[in-house]
């Protein structure tokens, strides 16, 4: 088999890149380790930056997000029960859209299937070969048969635990990591959300987030210690802890019910540099991880491939390598700003026992400054709704 671009991974990054390349008339094949149903079963992000929603429209898969997505003009920040709304529209003239990553993935999968562009699901033992040459190829095993795909370029969109970054020689990569001693216990429930907008809450007992997937399905999170086990958390224990951490008015309104999904996600900040090695380009979680506090993970994956897709279109359209040669530098400039914002939101909103009473006073001062400063609110709004691609 031969194609122009081999894409590893059918998550949001791989599927969006495939769509962009297809629209540019560039042949591509996606190789995905899991089944499509398994990919869709993963409950992850919930908030789209305006740029992400705009790109879905631009590539012709914006119909459902237009019909079912919930435009949000702001968020509520809560600190020990005190509330401060951040008005995105008033501060930066932009909004975000609440629309689950599962739905983004489904829309892109459906569009790809309808256009007949190939995705190989349940591809075992995917391996990258000759990535430091102009003639790379990929092998995998399916139904006991080993297959080979010759290509010009490989896009590693296979997430943090994928094979792509692991295929780059260690000497060629610089890794940057920040470990957080806690995770997020998340719950999905078929009940109306507690508030019209998201509530990000700091409390001495820990962080909590009130989010949603629709007007009838809600998503809630509480900070839990590293190593916590989801089986230690009955639904009732979760609801009691959430009520204790959010503002009293919201706690009073909270509608609880049986969880339809409950899981713990670890938090980390991570960046690999550079994002190119020969004919291999990294994008999305294969290249970086952010703590979900800033709602950046999915959106960064999309902005990476928006840049990579444009660079590949320039190469095949104009035979110019300029975009490919600058992809890593340009993408990393935006990635690090998102890493900074996600780290700042995490530092403000979570409890860090090791920083003691002084640390909590600094967090309170950070919140009080946010409440009193239009500049601070504008900065938060600018980052949360998404920085420009330039």
Residues recognised as catalytic: 72, 200, 292, 296, 384
From ligand FAS, ligand PHB, none, which one binds at residue 275 (CB under 5 to 8 Å depending on kind)? none
From ligand FAS, ligand PHB, none, which one binds at residue 31 (CB under 5 to 8 Å depending on kind)? ligand FAS
Q: Would you give the binding string for ligand FAS spanning residues 279-298, x where CB under 6 A is met? A: -----xx------x--xxxx
Nearer to ligand PHB, 165 or 213 (CB): 213
From ligand PHB, ligand FAS, none, which one binds at residue 101 (CB under 5 to 8 Å depending on kind)? ligand FAS
> Is residue 345 a contact residue for ligand FAS (CB under 6 A)?
no
Q: Which residues contact 190 (CB under 8 A, 6 or more apart)?
A: 216, 217, 257, 260
> Is residue 334 a contact residue for ligand FAS (CB under 6 A)?
no
Residue 132 DSSP class = T
From the list 1-9, 40-48, 57-65, 237-245, the region that binds ligand PHB by CB under 6 A is 40-48
Name 188's bridge partners. 219, 261
Strands (E) across the chain are located at: 5-8, 28-31, 47-48, 70-72, 74-79, 82-87, 96-98, 119-120, 124-129, 137-142, 145-150, 153-156, 174-189, 199-202, 208-212, 218-225, 259-273, 276-277, 280-282, 288-289
> Is residue 14 a contact residue for ligand FAS (CB under 6 A)?
yes
d(CA 50, CA 249): 30
> Is residue 377 a contact residue for ligand PHB (CB under 6 A)?
no
The phi, psi pair for 227, rounded to 5°, reads 90, -5
Smallest CA-to-CA distance from 105 within 36, 58, 156 is with 36
From ligand FAS, ligand PHB, none, which one binds at residue 293 (CB under 5 to 8 Å depending on kind)? ligand PHB
Considering only residues 285 to 314 of the shown chain, the ones binding ligand PHB according to CB under 6 A are: 292-293, 295
Smallest CA-to-CA distance from 205 within 242, 255, 175 is with 242
Q: Give min distance, CB of 185 to ligand PHB, in A.
A: 12
Could you tell me how many residues of this chain bind ligand FAS (CB under 6 A)?
32
Look at strands 145-150 and 137-142 and give their pairing: antiparallel
Q: Would you give the binding string for ligand PHB spanning residues 181-220, x where CB under 6 A is met? A: -----------------x------------x-------x-
| Chain residues that interact with ligand PHB, rule: CB under 6 A | 45-47, 198, 211, 219, 292-293, 295
């Amino acid at each position: 088999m031969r194609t122009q671009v081999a894409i590893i991974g059918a998550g949001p990054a791989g599927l969006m890149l495939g769509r962009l390349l297809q629209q540019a008339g560039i042949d591509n094949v996606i190789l995905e380790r899991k089944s499509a149903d398994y990919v869709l079963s993963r409950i992850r992000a919930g908030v789209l930056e305006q740029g992400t929603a705009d790109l879905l429209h631009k590539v012709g898969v914006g119909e459902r997000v237009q019909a079912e997505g919930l435009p949000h003009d702001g968020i509520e920040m809560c600190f020990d029960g005190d509330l401060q709304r951040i008005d995105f529209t008033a501060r930066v003239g932009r909004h975000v859209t609440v629309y689950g990553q599962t739905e983004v993935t489904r829309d892109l999968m459906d569009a790809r299937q309808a256009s007949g562009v190939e995705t190989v699901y349940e591809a075992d033992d995917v391996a990258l070969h000759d990535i430091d040459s102009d003639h790379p190829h990929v092998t995998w095993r399916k139904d006991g048969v080993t297959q080979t795909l010759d290509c010009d370029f490989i896009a590693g969109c296979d997430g943090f635990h994928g094979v792509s970054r692991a295929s780059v020689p260690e000497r060629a990569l610089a890794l940057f990591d920040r470990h957080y001693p806690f995770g997020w216990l998340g719950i999905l429930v078929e009940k109306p959300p507690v508030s019209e907008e998201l509530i990000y809450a700091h409390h001495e007992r820990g962080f909590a987030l009130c989010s949603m997937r629709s007007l009838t399905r809600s998503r809630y999170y509480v900070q839990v210690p590293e190593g916590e086990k989801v089986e230690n958390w009955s639904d009732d224990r979760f609801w009691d802890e959430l009520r204790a951490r959010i503002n009293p008015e919201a706690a009073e309104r909270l509608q609880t019910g049986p969880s339809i999904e409950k899981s713990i996600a670890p938090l980390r900040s991570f960046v690999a540099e550079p994002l190119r090695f020969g004919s291999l380009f990294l994008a999305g979680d294969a290249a970086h991880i952010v703590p979900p506090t800033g709602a950046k993970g999915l959106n960064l994956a999309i902005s990476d491939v928006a840049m990579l897709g444009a660079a590949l279109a320039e190469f095949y359209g104009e035979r110019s390598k300029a975009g490919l040669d600058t992809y890593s530098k340009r993408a990393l400039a935006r990635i690090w700003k998102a890493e900074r914002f996600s780290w700042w939101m995490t530092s403000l909103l979570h409890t860090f026992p090791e920083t003691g009473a002084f640390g909590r006073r600094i967090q309170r001062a950070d919140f009080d400054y946010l409440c009193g400063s239009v500049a601070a609110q504008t900065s938060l709004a600018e980052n949360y709704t998404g920085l420009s691609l330039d």
